[in-house]
Amino acid sequence: MGRASDLARQPPPSPRRLSPGWIVAGVAASALVLFAAFPQLTSWSGSSLASGAAEHFVHHPGQLDNSSPYGKFPQEGDSFHFLPCTPATLPPALEDSAPERTWAARFDPVPEHWSWGAPQVGENGTAGGDPYAGRGIYLCGYLDVPLDYTNKSDTRIARLAVTKFQVSGLARVGDAADSSAGRKSERTIVIEPGGPGGSGTSYAWRSAQNITERFTDGKFDVLGWDPRGVNASLPAVACFPHDASRDHWSILTSLHHAVSKSPREQLEIADAMNAAIMRACWERQGDLGRFLGTGMVARDLEQIRIALGEDELTGYLVSYGTGIGQTYASMFPDRVGRLILDGTEYVRDHRLRGGFGWTALDNATDAWRDGFLGECVNAGPEHCALAKPKEGKPVTLSDLEKRMDALLRSLATTPVPAYLPSSGPTLVTYSALVDAIYGAMYNARSWPSLAQTLSELEDGNSTLAASILETSAWYYDPETPCSPNPVPPSDAELTNLVICADSYDASGPDDLGWWLSLWGNMTSQNWIAGDSRFYTVLPCRHYTTYWPQPVGVYRGDLNHTLKHPVLLIAETYDPATPLRNGRRLLHEMGDNARLIVHHGYGHSSRDTSSCTESIARAYILNGTLPDSPETNCYADEKPYLYGVKTKAAAAALTETQDPVEAWQEHLRELVFLKPGLSPAMMVWKR
Ligand SMILES: *[C@@H]1O[C@H](CO)[C@@H](O)[C@H](O)[C@H]1NC(C)=O
Ligand SMILES: *[C@@H]1O[C@H](CO)[C@@H](O)[C@H](O)[C@H]1NC(C)=O
Ligand SMILES: *[C@@H]1O[C@H](CO)[C@@H](O)[C@H](O)[C@H]1NC(C)=O
Ligand SMILES: *[C@@H]1O[C@H](CO)[C@@H](O)[C@H](O)[C@H]1NC(C)=O
Ligand SMILES: *[C@@H]1O[C@H](CO)[C@@H](O)[C@H](O)[C@H]1NC(C)=O
Ligand SMILES: *[C@@H]1O[C@H](CO)[C@@H](O)[C@H](O)[C@H]1NC(C)=O
Ligand SMILES: *[C@@H]1O[C@H](CO)[C@@H](O)[C@H](O)[C@H]1NC(C)=O
Ligand SMILES: *[C@@H]1O[C@H](CO)[C@@H](O)[C@H](O)[C@H]1NC(C)=O
Ligand SMILES: *[C@@H]1O[C@H](CO)[C@@H](O)[C@H](O)[C@H]1NC(C)=O
């Protein structure tokens, strides 16, 4: 990858592949910088931005007017204080007594340092000698909201980080007043990837250009925000001062039911550690844990709508984002514009003890059997390593199921030793492998790598399995330099605090015996998802010890009459948000919703269906919806065979066929969708 000026001379990438190479700024090698998890955003080096970037941009008192060819930022009256994003545009600290001044000093007037979108289709990129003409821009900002909306005498705030992709780019000083450049679009699609704990700003960096193309042909802006407690928003939840300590304990506390010699003893250990973690959250964050429930997040979303100056909220909310969306719609029914809830939860279940866990279990094993194994057999040995003939005989689904069963059983008794040059001695364990399998059910593009991994493991070679688990299993990356920029600790416990606030007043038994029974039930219902989901809800046993009365939790019905119906999308093989829940929500919402039953694999509608796409576009662009409550849509392609229809796509496939590479790409996708499961699963940092 080259410098901005080199990029500007390159031909534009094809419109379908949004090459991150065009994101020319917003990059730095420093781990303190936002979005460091995106190698494609951070690998740009050899420029003045590479290090010490933050100091470089500080406004010096004697410095002259730091305006750019696009004028000065933040612009007057902008509620989000937007600046073109650079590595320095992280929200100012809460302790800062003059945050607006600090922020304004973070404005870097050099357009080559900013993050521009891909050139528009059909343009040359250098038209009129202006490398940025017709290109969208990433704008970074923040919005201050009350920490406690319900208590006027509490003056504390939360500072929400936002990133907006503005499709019209920026207006140059002196552009005609009627030029469309630099204007916000008529509607802004607000996005949230899920979790709880998913970062909307990171999601915007990864997906905003795709989302505006997908739903609006590039007409509407896209804005992502980090929910309170998450990522760059302040205060950030961090209950462990160092990620290495979380990893250290998680080995002891995330053992699966199938491999614990005494589930009761295992539960005692996990529960004791959860008690310690909740206390640490209290010691380090005080009463913050009271203000993190989904009802508060929905109020923040309303503040974002107001700051956008739009009468109605337009949004694409995914996974737990659909929980925020349902809550928002119920609390602000007159503000609902065009909301897509994709990968639909049913938030009523989250009010019940352990509900966030047990409501998710329907279909992960169906996805394994019909999808991962069944589609493997259908695709054949050319596309799926597990379909290679055994002893000269073609593989059948029932043989393959038996083989995998035997492999996992053997692993449950005997972990497999492995060696990796990067980490030395290591083990392939049942718990870690099953957690990785669960993650793979979210995203069928990971299946060829997983199939190859299991095939090699079955043949007695554990190297690939170890590499994959090593990248999926830990928060702390021993290869990260310790200084001068230590990585801030992760916000992993935010997930538990949100889930526990939402179910704080659940009735019924709460003793360890009850939880033991729940664990047994969940894991016997679903060997893939049961443990991970169980460990996500178990900490709630200790939430009310510290925060007996969370604030602003929504307990009303979900059947309010909305200004405009919402569009629900639920997937037949979704491992996290089963179709059953989308249907129950539709049933409660009645005429205020329509449901697309999306027949495909993975979590949310990532298994692309042109039918789903066209309904979603008509809705977001025009507000039109199908008449019938439910519409069936089918995925266009099959797993293992994505893109093999066209030559160009087949070539692209070979490029990414290194299984470890492909797995890492999968984890980069997963980090948005599936934060906050059991400790051993929350660790897709690299
Ligand atoms: C925000 O999330 C990104 C992507 O996961 C990560 O690289 C970055 O370090 C996070 N920033 C903060 C301030 O937590
Ligand atoms: C774009 O490039 C093509 C071929 O180089 C040239 O013919 C055309 O005039 C250019 N268009 C603009 C708007 O500069
Ligand atoms: C409201 O805020 C004030 C000031 O922080 C505090 O003293 C009071 O206890 C709060 N009331 C409630 C009900 O939380
Ligand atoms: C958006 O991304 C999805 C999944 O990667 C891809 O299938 C789709 O073609 C992309 N859409 C656009 C408009 O780029
Ligand atoms: C998903 O789970 C439900 C409930 O167990 C079941 O009725 C349905 O058939 C499953 N879906 C698929 C595609 O297997
Ligand atoms: C084991 O697998 C690794 C990774 O797939 C491969 O590089 C290595 O050659 C294999 N070793 C043997 C002995 O086949
Ligand atoms: C577990 O399942 C058994 C049998 O269906 C049931 O009696 C018990 O109440 C369940 N336990 C929990 C905690 O749901
Ligand atoms: C919503 O459902 C409740 C019962 O759950 C019912 O009492 C109420 O009348 C319904 N409201 C509307 C607007 O349909
Ligand atoms: C939106 O409405 C316009 C005018 O009715 C129509 O031409 C266009 O095809 C519609 N777009 C979609 C995506 O339905």
CA–CA separation, 390 and 83 (whole Å): 59
pLDDT at 448 over 90: yes
Q: How many H helices and E strands in the chain?
A: 24, 12
Whether 215 shows a pLDDT value over 50: the answer reads: yes
Taking CA 169 as the corner, what is the angle to CA 166 and CA 174, rounded to the nearest 5 degrees?
135
Q: What confidence tens digit (pLDDT) does each residue in 514-568 have? A: 999 999 999 999 999 999 999 999 999 999 999 999 999 999 999 999 999 999 9
Q: What is the mean pLDDT of residues 233-242?
A: 93
Q: What is the pLDDT of residues 322-362, one digit of tens each?
A: 999 999 999 999 999 999 999 999 999 999 999 999 999 99
Q: What is residue 127's predicted lDDT score, i.e. its pLDDT?
A: 52
Instruction: Give the mean pLDDT of 506-517.
Output: 97
Measured in angstroms, how far is the CA atom of residue 452 from the centroid of ligand 5? 27
Asked whether residue 680 carries a pLDDT value surpassing 80, the answer given is no
Residue 250 has pLDDT above 60, yes or no: yes
As a whole number of angstroms, the longest Cα–Cα distance in the chain is: 79
**Chain-wide mean pLDDT for the chain?**
87
DSSP assignment string, 77-132? T-TT--EE--TT-SPPPTT-S-HHHHHHTT----GGGS-B-PPPTT--SSGGG-TT
Strand-pair partners of 570? 597
> Is residue 647 pLDDT above 70, yes or no?
no
Alpha helices of 105-199 — where are they, by DSSP H?
A: none
Among the listed residues 423, 430, 432, the one whose alpha carbon sits nearest the alpha carbon of residue 473: 432
Q: Coil, strand, or helix at residue 31?
A: coil
CB atoms within 10 A of CB 660: 16
Q: In the prediction, which pLDDT does 529 show?
A: 96
Least confidently predicted of 196-205, 467-476, 477-486, 549-558: 477-486
Mutate to test the pocket of ligand 8, among 334, 346, 559 (most ligand atoms within 8 A of CB): 559
Residue 62: its H or E element: none
Average pLDDT over residues 159-163: 98
Cβ–Cβ < 8 Å for 506, 550: no
Cα 113 to Cα 23: distance, rounded to the nearest angstrom: 10
What CA–CA distance (Å, rounded) separates 191 from 629? 24
pLDDT at 162: 98
Six-digit token pair at 48?
Answer: 């003045």
Rounded average pLDDT over 612-639: 98
Q: Atom 9 in ligand 4: which residue has the minimum CA distance? A: 16
Cis, peptide link before residue 484, omega less than 30° from 0 = yes
State yes or no: cis peptide before 74, omega within 30 of 0. yes
Residue of 557, 585, 592 to test ligand 8 pocket, by largest number of atoms within 8 Å of CB: 557
pLDDT at position 648, please? 57
Which amino acid, one-letter code, is at 517?
S
Q: How far is CA 232 from CA 108, 198, 222, 483, 608, in A?
A: 20, 11, 18, 20, 31
659-673 vs 430-441: helix crossing angle, rounded to 10: 70
User: Could you write out the three-class secondary structure of 340-384?
Assistant: EEECCCCHHHHHCCCHHHHCCCCCHHHHHHHHHHHHHHHHCCCCC
User: In this predicted structure, what is the pLDDT of residue 169?
Assistant: 95
| Predicted confidence band of residue 493 (pLDDT cuts 50, 70, 90) | very high
DSSP 438-485: HHHHT-GGGHHHHHHHHHHHHTT--HHHHHHHHHHS-S--TTS--SSS
pLDDT at position 670, please?
82
Q: Which two tokens stand for residue 11?
A: 């031909």
% the chain with pLDDT above 90? 74
Q: Which pLDDT band holds residue 24 (cuts at 50, 70, 90)?
A: very low
How many percent of the chain have pLDDT more than 70? Answer: 84
Taking the CA of residue 16 as reference, the ligand 4 atom at the shortest distance is 14
Amino acid sitting at position 133: A
Terminal CA-CA length for the chain? 20
| Cα distance between residue 386 and residue 638, in whole Å | 16
Which pLDDT belongs to residue 157? 98
Check: CB of residue 135 under 8 Å from CB of residue 117: yes
Tell which residue, 235, 241, 234, 253, has the closest CA to residue 280. 241
Q: 591 in ligand 8 pocket by Cβ < 6 Å?
A: no
Rounded average pLDDT over 113-118: 95
Nearest CA to ligand 6 atom 6: 463
Question: Residue range 178-199: average pLDDT?
Answer: 92
**C-alpha distances out from residue 85 to 8, 81, 107, 109, 119, Å:** 18, 12, 9, 11, 18
Distance 464 CA to ligand 6 centre (A): 8
What is the distance in A from the centroid of ligand 2 to the CA of 609? 35
Mean pLDDT calculated for residue range 386-402: 96
Confidence bin at 685 (pLDDT 50/70/90)? very low
244 Cβ partners below 8 Å, 6+ apart?
A: 475, 476
Q: Is the CB of 557 under 6 A from ligand 8?
A: yes
Higher pLDDT, 46 or 215: 215
**Cβ atoms < 10 Å from Cβ of 104:** 17
Confidence bin at 33 (pLDDT 50/70/90): very low
Residue labelled with tokens 């990260």 = 480
Distance 617 CA to ligand 9 centre (A): 9
Give mean pLDDT, residues 357-373. 97
| Comparison of pLDDT for 312 and 644, the residue scoring more | 312
**367 in contact with ligand 1, CB cutoff 6 A:** no
Closest C-alpha residue for ligand 1 atom 14: 231
| Predicted confidence (pLDDT) at residue 77 exceeds the cutoff of 70 | yes
Cα 467 to Cα 443: distance, rounded to the nearest angstrom: 19
With a 6 Å cutoff on the Cβ, whether 334 touches ligand 8 is: no
- What number does the ligand 7 atom closest to the CA of 358 have? 14
CB burial of residue 619 (10 Å; 0-12, 13-18, 19+)? buried
Please check the confidence at residue 17 and state whether its pLDDT lies above 60.
no
90 CA: nearest ligand 1 atom = 13
More confident position, 154 or 681 = 154
What's residue 128's pLDDT?
62
Tell me which ligand sits closest to the C-alpha of residue 133: 2
Q: Is the pLDDT of residue 13 over 60?
A: no
Distance, CA of 450 to chain centre:
21
Ligand 3: residue of 150, 151, 287 to mutate (most ligand atoms within 8 A of CB) is 151
Kindly indicate the confidence band of residue 629, based on its pLDDT and cuts at 50, 70 and 90. very high
Task: Report the sign of the C-alpha dihedral through residues 214, 345, 473, 404, in that order.
Answer: negative
- Angle at CA 400, nearest 5°, toward 396 and 406? 150
Q: Does the pLDDT at position 279 exceed 90?
A: yes
pLDDT at 1: 34
